[in-house]
Structure 1
Amino acid sequence: MINCTFADLPSLATYLRTVLDGADTDSGKRFVLLYAYNGVGKTQLSMAFKDLGRQDEARDTLYFNAYTEDLFSWDNDLDNDHDRKLVLNARSRFFDGLDEMDMDNRIRPLLSRYADFDFQIDTEGWVVRFYCRDNPDRPIKISRGEETMFIWCFFLAIMQMAMDGAAVYQWVKYIVIDDPISSLDEHNAITVGNHLAKFLARKDHVIKTGISTHHPLFFNVLWNELRVIDRRKFSPHYLSRSRKTGNYYLSYTGDTPFFHHLALLEDVCRAKESGELYTHHFNALRSLLEKSSIFHGYEKFSVCITKQEAHDPDETLYVRLVQIMNHGNYSFYDPVEMLPENKEYFEKVLSDFLNFYPFNPALLANESKQEENP
Structure 2
Amino acid sequence: MSGIRKYQSLRSLVTRLRDDLNNVELVLLYAYNRTGKTRLSMAFKDEGKRKTKKNPQGVADTLYFNAFTEDLFTWENDLDGDVLRHLQINPDSSLFNGLKELALDQPIASYLSRYAEFDFDIDYEAWKVRFRKDGADNIKISRGEQNIFIWCLFMAICERMLDGHVSYQSFKYLYIDDPISSLDDNNAISVACDLAKLLRRAASRVDGNGTPAPIKIIFSSHHALFFNVMCNEIGRAKEGEAKVANKRYFLHRPDSSGVYTLRGTEDTPYFHHVATLAELKRAAHPRSGKLYTFHFNALRSIMEKTAAFFGHADVSFCIKALDNEEDRALYNRALNLLSHGAYSIYDPTPMGDDNQDLFRRLLDDFLAKFQFALPELADKPVGAAPTATPSAAPSP
Is the TM-score greater than 0.5?
A: yes
- Please tell me the residue identity of whatever aligns with 1:135: G
| Contact 1:318 1:345 (8 Å CA) reproduced | no
Q: What residue number does 2:302 align with?
A: 288
Q: 1:291–1:369: structure 2 CA closer, same or farther, 3 Å change rule?
A: closer
1:358 maps onto 2:357 in alignment? no
Higher helix share: 1
- Please tell me the residue identity of whatever aligns with 1:219: F
Counterpart CA distance in 1 for 2:363 and 2:73 is: 45
1:212 maps onto 2:217 in alignment? no
| Corresponding residue SS for 1:218 | helix
Q: 1:322–1:260: structure 2 CA closer, same or farther, 3 Å change rule?
A: farther
| Corresponding residue SS for 1:165 | coil
Q: 1:339–1:155: structure 2 CA closer, same or farther, 3 Å change rule?
A: same
Counterpart CA distance in 1 for 2:324 and 2:267 is: 39
| Contact 1:4 1:251 (8 Å CA) reproduced | yes
| Contact 1:293 1:304 (8 Å CA) reproduced | no
Superposed CA deviations along residues 5-46 of structure 1, whole A, max 9, x for unmatched, are 1123222122111111x2xxxxx2111111111121211211
Q: 1:274–1:171: structure 2 CA closer, same or farther, 3 Å change rule?
A: farther
Q: Which moved more, 1:251-260 or 1:285-294?
A: 285-294
Counterpart CA distance in 1 for 2:228 and 2:29 is: 11
| Contact 1:305 1:349 (8 Å CA) reproduced | no
| Contact 2:30 2:272 (8 Å CA) reproduced | no
- Please tell me the residue identity of whatever aligns with 2:172: K
Q: Which structure 1 segments of 5+ residues have no match?
A: 23-27
- Please tell me the residue identity of whatever aligns with 1:288: I
- Please tell me the residue identity of whatever aligns with 2:299: L
Q: Where does 1:1-374 land on structure 2 (aligned, <5 Å)?
A: 1=1, 2-20=3-21, 22=22, 28-55=23-50, 58-132=59-133, 135=135, 138-202=137-201, 203=204, 204=206, 205-227=213-235, 228=237, 231=243, 233-243=245-255, 247-269=259-281, 276-280=288-292, 281-292=295-306, 296-298=312-314, 303=319, 306=322, 308=324, 310=326, 316=330, 320=334, 331=345, 346-359=359-372, 363-364=373-374, 367-368=375-376, 371=379
| Corresponding residue SS for 1:139 | coil
Counterpart CA distance in 1 for 2:247 and 2:154 is: 23
Superposed CA deviations along residues 96-125 of structure 1, whole A, max 9, x for unmatched, are 112211122332222222223222211111
1:285 positional shift? 3.3
Superposed CA deviations along residues 264-286 of structure 1, whole A, max 9, x for unmatched, are 22333455679641224555334
Q: What residue number does 1:25 align with?
A: none
1:320 positional shift? 4.9
Q: Over aligned residue pairs, what C-alpha RMSD do you find? A: 3.4
Q: 1:297–1:199: structure 2 CA closer, same or farther, 3 Å change rule?
A: closer
1:70 positional shift? 0.6
- Please tell me the residue identity of whatever aligns with 1:166: H
Counterpart CA distance in 2 for 1:317 and 1:115 is: 39
Counterpart CA distance in 2 for 1:16 and 1:219 is: 18
| Contact 2:32 2:222 (8 Å CA) reproduced | yes
TM-score by length of 1: 0.81
Counterpart CA distance in 2 for 1:332 and 1:242 is: 19
| Corresponding residue SS for 2:64 | strand
- Please tell me the residue identity of whatever aligns with 2:255: R
Counterpart CA distance in 2 for 1:368 and 1:286 is: 22
| Contact 2:300 2:315 (8 Å CA) reproduced | no
Q: Which structure 2 segments of 5+ residues have no match?
A: 52-57, 207-212, 381-396
Counterpart CA distance in 2 for 1:212 and 1:252 is: 14
| Contact 1:318 1:349 (8 Å CA) reproduced | no
Counterpart CA distance in 2 for 1:197 and 1:317 is: 39
Counterpart CA distance in 2 for 1:111 and 1:325 is: 33
